[in-house]
């Protein structure tokens, strides 16, 4: 018992903690109640709890990401690892955001949740929670999602199934490991970098626009009037349509100091803006930022983190292409 690892469980809500109400599932269980469903935990680690939030993750806001990071910061020295229970709907955004807000952590920071509440007869909650605690006691630096037996890097996760237990995929990067019969089989050990750094500022004025055929610049203008950065999810390896005034729009707003990132709607393999005429001009003449193999969730969180630190164009560009927690395989793109 003496050398048992100490883990802090931070509850934020989600399906895992939900109960049936007349108006649908609502997150009502406390972290202590969650723990009471998994008595086997006492053999894995000693757990203390903080009930930080009780939200459906649809209601999660960047201010809540900052709360999670500051809670971990406040208790960092006291625990060997951290488990956050969280709704699945925006878990990938939170995992990415925490990867930028807490950099270089040698200790594991594990997000988990479930597609079915812990009180249901058929549920993924118990196994996910137990696996999360197992991972929180391992040498697994940084932020990861543990879900359906898989360990996914926080910057690479995407919710790719809305109902089945296999809700998350690691995009353009392998899973870090799998859990088999209660043991972590590791494929990759993430590096944690040399220095632990917590950040406490985000610029939330980052907008995302999914391009559709026939769209014109009006909607981009609307978003750029209200934002410091616009991420455009374009088609294929990336580009903008010649009709609709997009090239002028991008040039005008970049001259006014806005940041524009081009990414792709295609889930796998990322962008390569230089390939086609429709993208090449954006890259060569307008010098937009390009997401390459990053997930949209990571791009949103990374831009919020970067613009929370600086608005200097060269510095934003430098930080954007500097890999953080394996979010971008930049060296291999150039």
Residue 297 contacts ligand ASP per CB under 6 A:
no
- Give whichever of 56 and 138 is closer to ligand ASP, judged by the CB atom: 56
- For 216, residues 6+ apart whose C-beta sits below 8 A from its C-beta are 243, 244, 245, 246
- Give whichever of 57 and 295 is closer to ligand ASP, judged by the CB atom: 57
Query: Which of 32-40, 84-92, 102-110, 306-314 is the region at the interface with ligand ASP (rule: CB under 6 A)?
Result: 84-92
**Which two tokens mark 103?**
């950099």
Query: Which of 86-94, 185-193, 281-289, 305-313 is the region at the interface with ligand ASP (rule: CB under 6 A)?
Result: 86-94
- Give whichever of 56 and 233 is closer to ligand ASP, judged by the CB atom: 56
- Give whichever of 87 and 108 is closer to ligand ASP, judged by the CB atom: 87
If you compute the radius of gyration of the chain from its CA atoms, what whole number of angstroms results?
20
For residue 262, how many C-alpha atoms fall within 13 Å in the half-sphere facing its CB? 27
Binders of ligand ASP among 106-125, rule CB under 6 A?
Answer: 113, 115
Q: Which of 87, 153, 241, 270 binds ligand ASP (CB under 6 A)?
A: 87
Give backbone dihedrals phi and psi of 283, rounded to 5 degrees, phi first. Answer: -75, -50
Query: Which of 46-54, 56-64, 204-212, 281-289 is the region at the interface with ligand ASP (rule: CB under 6 A)?
Result: 56-64
- Catalytic site residue from 12, 15, 31, 90: 15
Other Cβ atoms closer than 10 A to 31: 22
- Give whichever of 96 and 289 is closer to ligand ASP, judged by the CB atom: 96
Which residue number is nearest to ligand ASP in terms of Cβ? 87
Q: Total residues at the site for ligand ASP (CB under 6 A)? A: 10
Residue 56 contacts ligand ASP per CB under 6 A:
yes
Smallest distance from the beta carbon of 152 to ligand ASP, in angstroms? Answer: 15
Query: Which of 83-91, 260-268, 271-279, 296-304 is the region at the interface with ligand ASP (rule: CB under 6 A)?
Result: 83-91
Residue 142 contacts ligand ASP per CB under 6 A:
no
**How far are the Cα atoms of 102, 179, 282 from residue 126, in angstroms, in the given order?**
27, 14, 48
Query: Which of 53-61, 233-241, 246-254, 319-327 is the region at the interface with ligand ASP (rule: CB under 6 A)?
Result: 53-61
Smallest distance from the beta carbon of 13 to ligand ASP, in angstroms? Answer: 6
What span, in angstroms and rounded, lies between the C-alpha atoms of 299 and 328? 10
SS3 323: coil
Q: Which of 1, 22, 24, 58 binds ligand ASP (CB under 6 A)?
A: 58
What span, in angstroms and rounded, lies between the C-alpha atoms of 97 and 145? 12
- Give whichever of 100 and 147 is closer to ligand ASP, judged by the CB atom: 147
What span, in angstroms and rounded, lies between the C-alpha atoms of 14 and 57? 6
Instruction: Give the DSSP H/E element, type plus range, for residue 321.
Output: helix 313-321
Q: Is residue 269 within 8 Å of residue 293, measured between CB atoms?
A: yes
Nearest to 145 by CA among 110, 106, 98: 110
**How far are the Cα atoms of 21, 184, 304 from residue 228, in angstroms, in the given order?**
40, 42, 9
For residue 168, how many C-alpha atoms fall within 13 Å in the half-sphere facing its CB? 35
Q: Which of 7, 11, 15, 207 binds ligand ASP (CB under 6 A)?
A: 15
- Residues 288-305 as b/e (b if ≥16 CB within 10 A, e otherwise) read bbbbbbbbbbbbbbbbbb
Residue 57 contacts ligand ASP per CB under 6 A:
yes
Q: Is 15 a catalytic residue?
A: yes
Q: Is residue 196 within 8 Å of residue 103, measured between CB atoms?
A: yes
Residue 88 contacts ligand ASP per CB under 6 A:
yes
Catalytically active residues are: 15
Chain residues that interact with ligand ASP, rule: CB under 6 A: 14-15, 56-58, 87-89, 113, 115
């Amino acid at each position: 018992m003496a050398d048992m690892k100490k883990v802090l469980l931070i509850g934020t809500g989600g399906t895992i903690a939900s109960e049936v109400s007349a108006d649908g599932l609502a997150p009502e269980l406390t972290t202590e109640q969650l723990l009471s469903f998994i008595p086997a935990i006492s053999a894995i680690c000693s757990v203390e709890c903080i009930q930080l939030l009780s939200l459906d993750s649809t209601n999660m806001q960047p201010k809540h990401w900052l709360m999670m990071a500051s809670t971990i910061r406040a208790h960092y020295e006291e625990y060997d690892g951290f488990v956050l229970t969280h709704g699945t709907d925006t878990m990938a955004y939170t995992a990415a955001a925490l990867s930028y807000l807490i950099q270089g952590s040698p200790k594991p920071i594990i997000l988990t949740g479930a597609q079915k509440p812990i009180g249901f007869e058929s549920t993924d909650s118990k196994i996910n929670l137990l696996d999360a605690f197992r991972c929180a006691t391992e040498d697994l630096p940084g932020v990861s999602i543990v879900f359906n037996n898989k360990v996914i890097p926080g910057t690479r996760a995407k919710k790719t199934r809305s109902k089945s237990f296999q809700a998350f995929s690691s995009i353009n990067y392998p899973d870090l490991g799998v859990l088999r019969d209660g043991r972590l089989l590791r494929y990759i050990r993430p590096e944690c970098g040399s220095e632990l750094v917590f950040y406490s500022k985000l610029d939330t004025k980052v907008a995302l626009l999914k391009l559709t055929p026939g769209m014109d610049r009006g909607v981009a203008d609307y978003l750029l009037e209200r934002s410091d950065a616009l991420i455009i999810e374009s088609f294929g390896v990336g580009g903008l349509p010649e009709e609709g005034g997009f090239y002028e729009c991008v040039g005008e707003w970049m001259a006014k100091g806005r940041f524009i990132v081009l990414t792709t709607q295609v889930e796998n393999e990322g962008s390569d803006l230089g390939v086609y005429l429709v993208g090449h001009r954006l890259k060569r003449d307008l010098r937009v930022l390009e997401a390459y193999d990053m997930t949209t969730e990571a791009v949103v969180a990374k831009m919020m983190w970067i613009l929370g630190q600086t608005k200097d164009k060269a510095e934003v560009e430098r930080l954007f292409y500097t890999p953080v927690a394996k979010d971008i395989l930049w060296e291999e793109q150039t």
